[in-house]
Amino acid sequence: SSPDSDGGTPELEKAGLLNKTKIAEGGRKLRKNWSPSWVVLVGNSLVFFKDPKSQTPSSWKPGNSRPESSVDLRGAKLHWADDLSSKKNVFKLRTVTGNEFLLQSETGALIKEWYSTIQNVIDRLDRE
């Protein structure tokens, strides 16, 4: 059984620093505003935090700082999106509610890890 099967603290899957911009809210296009974000994949959610300098993967714990925003991954879609930016290593995450985010890293291997880890969570939720 998973660590969350008792309804307790959700499992922390991954945490790290990515560049982030929201490009749509409820299907309505937004102006890009790239900024570094501390991104945490925990349970069924991708959670974004400001102030990444105070965070490290080993020290982060659910509940010890206030998220900037959070994304429900159930029904979400991931796509590589280098066509949507002048930056390299970019993917787009679209939620069922029509919120769209671009996430980016200068490190190709790192962004590929994030892509496949998030896709695994989406696939798991699709099977539930």
24 binds ligand I3P (CB under 6 A): no
Asked whether the beta carbons of 12 and 2 are under 8 A apart, the reply is no
Q: Taking phi first (over 0 means left), then psi (-120 to 50 degrees means alpha), and beta for anything else, what does residue 65 get?
A: beta
Q: Taking phi first (over 0 means left), then psi (-120 to 50 degrees means alpha), and beta for anything else, what does residue 26 get?
A: left
Within residues 26-85, the interface with ligand I3P by CB under 6 A covers 31-32, 34, 85
Residue nearest to ligand I3P (CB): 85
In terms of Cα–Cα distance, which of 62, 78, 92 is closest to 122?
78
Shorter beta-carbon distance to ligand I3P: residue 15 or 81 = 81
Shorter beta-carbon distance to ligand I3P: residue 42 or 103 = 103
Shorter beta-carbon distance to ligand I3P: residue 30 or 96 = 30
State the Cα–Cα distance between residues 97 and 25, nearest whole angstrom.
Answer: 8
Shorter beta-carbon distance to ligand I3P: residue 19 or 55 = 19
CB of residue 19 vs ligand I3P: minimum separation in angstroms? 9
By rule CB under 6 A, what count of residues binds ligand I3P? 6
Within residues 84-113, the interface with ligand I3P by CB under 6 A covers 85-87
Q: Dihedral sign for Cα 85, 91, 94, 100, please.
A: negative
- Binding residues for ligand I3P (CB under 6 A): 31-32, 34, 85-87
